[in-house]
Amino acid sequence: MLIPHPLLGPRDAQEFTYLGDAALLNRPDGMAEGAEAAFAEYVYLRDNPAGVHRELWFHEQGDRSWLVVTRDTTTHEILGAELARDVKLKGGAA
């Protein structure tokens, strides 16, 4: 698989470490009221769609960027990749 790195162009997927659902960007506030329930959901509940999925890849053998990669899980087609940092600064993964 090739991942279109927003800074480095197409890179072999072997250079990356996979984490999973980009919803992990949306970490609840640990100091807020009801944090425990929010964290239980954050830590344990994930969507596992057959189709378009936004997910986190770490360019561990490369420039150490975390990317949000949009991938169709049924075809492995990659529809885009952004720096996770930019996604988070724009308000997180919807």
Partner 1 sequence: MTRLTGGLIDRARSLRFTFDGRTYSGHPGDTLASALLANDVRLMGRSFKYHRPRGVFSAGSEEPNALVELRSGARKEPNTRATVAELYDGLEAASQNHVGPLGFDLLAVNDLFSSFFAAGFYYKTFMWPRAFWEKLYEPAIRRAAGLGSLSMQPDPDAYDKGFLHCDLLVIGGGAAGLAAALTAGRAGARVILADEDFRLGGRLLAESHALDDAPATEWVARAEAELATLPNLRILRRTTVFGAFDHGVYGAVERVADHLPEPGRQVRQTLWRITARRAVLAAGAIERHIPFRNNDRPGIMLAGAMRAYANRWAVRPAKRVAIFTNNDDGHRTALDLAAKGVEVAAVIDSRPDARAQGQYRLVHGLVDNAKGRLGLRGVEIDSNGRKEWLDCGALGVAGGWNPNVHLASHHRGRPVWDEALQAFVPGEGGPCGLIIAGAAKGQGSTAAALRSGAEAAAEALAQLGIEARPADLPAAEDAPAGLRPLWHVPGKGRAWVDFQNDVTVKDIKLAHQENMRPVEHLKRWTTLGMATDQGKTANVTALAVMSELTGKPIPETGTTIFRPPYSGVSLSVLGGGDTGAHFRPRRLTPTHEWARAQGAVFIEVGPWMRAQYFPRPGETHWRQTVDREVLATRKGVGICDVTTLGKVDVQGADAGEFLDRIYANAMKSLKVGMVRYGLMLREDGTAWDDGTCARLAEDHYVVTTTTAQAGPVYRQMEFARQCLWPELDVQLISTTDAWAQIAVAGPNARRLLERIVDGFDLSNAAFPFMACAGLTVCGGLRARLFRISFSGELAYEIAVPARYGQALVERLMEQGADLGAIPYGTEALGVMRIEKGHAAGNELNGQTTAQMLGLGRMVSSKKDGIGAVMSRREGLAAETRVLVGLQPVDPAQPVLAGMHLFAEGAPHRTETDQGWITSACYSPHVGSSIGLGFLADGGARMGETVIAANPLQGQKVALRVVPPHFVDPEGGRLRD
Determine if 46 is a binding residue for partner 1 (CB under 8 A). Answer: no
Tell whether residue 64 is a contact of partner 1 (CB under 8 A). Answer: yes
Torsions phi, psi for 6 (to 5 deg): -65, -25
Give the list of residues 6+ apart from residue 85 with CB closer than 8 angstroms, or none.
65, 66
> Least CB distance from residue 10 to partner 1, whole Å?
8
DSSP letters along 40-59, please? HHHHH-----SSEEEEEEE-
Which two three-digit tokens encode residue 27? 């970490």
**Is 41 a residue that touches partner 1 (CB under 8 A)?**
no
Among 25, 55, 57, 81, binds partner 1 (CB under 8 A): 25
Contacting partner 1 (CB under 8 A), which of 16, 55, 57, 66?
Answer: 66
- 78/72 Cα distance (integer angstroms): 6
Question: Which residues bind to partner 1, rule: CB under 8 A?
Answer: 1-2, 13, 17, 19, 24-25, 27-31, 35-36, 39-40, 42-44, 56, 58, 60, 64-66, 75-78, 83-85, 88-89
